[in-house]
Amino acid sequence: MVAHAGEKAQKTGVFHCATCDAKVSVKEGEKIPKCPNGHTRFDTRTHEPGNK
């Protein structure tokens, strides 16, 4: 899974930055923000509803 800042999240979850592993929580349909360190690429999503 690869997602980029500015895209709409396809699913709710916590997106993990591919560069620094910072975490950004996003709900389905919201725009994915940059990570707190300004990076724009996310390679992992966790804490999806129904997954623990």
Confidence of residue 52 (pLDDT cuts 50, 70, 90): very low
**31: containing domain:** 3-45
Residue 50 lies in a domain: no
pLDDT at 1: 80
Count of the separate structural domains present in the chain: 1
Residue 51 lies in a domain: no
Percent residues over pLDDT 70 in the chain: 90
Query: Per-residue pLDDT averaged across 12-39, rounded?
Result: 97
Query: Per-residue pLDDT averaged across 22-31, rounded?
Result: 97
Residue 41 lies in a domain: yes
Rounded Cα–Cα distance for residues 46 and 24 (Å): 10
Residue 52 lies in a domain: no
**In this predicted model, what pLDDT tens digit does every residue of 36-49 receive, in sequence order?**
999 999 999 998 66
Residue 8 lies in a domain: yes
